[in-house]
Amino acid sequence: MQTVFPELTDDVIGRMKGASPRMHEVMSLLIRHAHAFVREAALTQEEWRAGIDFLTRTGQMCSDSRQEFILLSDILGVSMLVDAVAHQSADKGITDSTVLGPFYAGPQRELDQGESILLREEDGEPLIMRGRVADPGGNPVVGAKVEVWQTATNQLYDVQDENQPHGHLRATFRTDEQGHYEFRTILPVSYPIPDDGPAGQLLRALGRHPFRPAHVHFMISAPSHETLVTHLFLKGDKYLDSDAVFGVKPSLVVQPERRHGVSTITYDFGLARKR
């Protein structure tokens, strides 16, 4: 098929004379792919206007507490792809990463080993989460910062719900001399990502649901190690195969062990050493 207006693409790229080498590389690719998309889709002027309107509304939806562009990136698989590109040479013994999501709320209260992250009662099933943080050689990472967060049983994070105490179901722990962490919580539940904006409209237009399978978030960091951003998912969740943000990896799906009404998840994390 004949290329429509090929010299336009070369003209746009040819004018980036003041760009740094990386800026030139990235923007040339972006323009080539964007122009190829318009040509291949034979995008109509109405469709182009609808796209501009969609992106405008996406920006207008953003605030300090709502990042609609991250949601858009997540539901289109872009966030997981950027994560995969960053970790493609990960060694054996390093835990798989997944999306950060928009509900990490910055520094959170530090608790002692074994304490509960709940600030009020929930009707969820009690859960103990424990394990070790080590490097790929099996050496404990002592004093690693283990930040965790999850939703309440009403499917909302504290930052989405003014009825929850600030800091409910999120906390920071430090690993001990053996690299151990342990805390008490409740079994997480599946929940819909915020779908009252453009990202939600797009999901509906594509015939997709907004749900994420039940998970607990972890961000684990230590000065000489690469920060690990990940989740643990519950085996058997009905959304494991259709996570709205494509974040599930088989190695992150765990089966709690249930004894006397209390479930326990034992999971060891592997952190890469900083290069």
Residues recognised as catalytic: 157, 191, 212, 215, 217
Q: Which stretch binds ligand BEZ (CB under 6 A): 28-36, 58-66, 95-103, 126-134?
A: 95-103
Coil, strand, or helix at residue 191? strand
Backbone phi, psi, residue 170, to 5°: -150, 145
Among ligand BEZ, Fe ion, none, partner that 183 touches (CB below 5 to 8 angstroms by kind): none
Going across the sheet that includes 225-234, the strands are 170-174, 145-149, 215-222, 225-234, 253-254
Question: Which residues sit opposite 225 in a β-bridge?
Answer: 222, 273
Q: What gap in Å lies between CA 146 and CA 229, rounded to an integer?
A: 10
CB atoms within 10 A of CB 98: 26
Find the angle CA(164)-CA(185)-CA(211) to the nearest 5 degrees.
Answer: 70
CB nearest Fe ion: which residue?
101
Query: From the list 171, 214, 216, 245, which residue makes contact with ligand BEZ (rule: CB under 6 A)?
Result: 245
**How many positions of this chain bind ligand BEZ (CB under 6 A)?**
9
Give the binding range for ligand BEZ (CB under 6 A) out of 25-33, 83-91, 101-109, 251-259. 101-109
Which of 155, 168, 165, 144 has the alpha carbon at shortest distance from 218? 144
99 binds, among ligand BEZ, Fe ion, none (CB under 5 to 8 A by kind): ligand BEZ
Among the listed ranges 39-47, 97-105, 166-174, 198-206, the one in contact with Fe ion (CB under 5 A) is 97-105
CA–CA separation, 80 and 85 (whole Å): 9
- 106-135 residues in contact with ligand BEZ (CB under 6 A) are none
Q: Which is nearer to ligand BEZ, 103 or 183 (CB)?
A: 103
Q: Is 220 in the site for ligand BEZ (CB under 6 A)?
A: no
Find which of ligand BEZ, Fe ion, none residue 181 binds, CB within 5 to 8 Å per kind.
none
Told to check if 248 binds ligand BEZ by CB under 6 A, we report no
Shortest reach from residue 22's CB to ligand BEZ, in Å:
27
212 binds ligand BEZ (CB under 6 A): yes
Please name the amino acid found at residue 60.
Q
Helix (H, G, I), strand (E, B) or coil at 114: coil
**Number of Cβ atoms within 10 Å of the Cβ of 77:** 13
* Residue closer to ligand BEZ, measured from CB, 99 or 265: 99
Spatial separation of the C-alpha atoms in residues 192 and 47, rounded to whole Å: 28
Write out the residues near ligand BEZ by the rule CB under 6 A: 71, 74, 99, 101-103, 193, 212, 245
The footprint of Fe ion (CB under 5 A) covers: 101
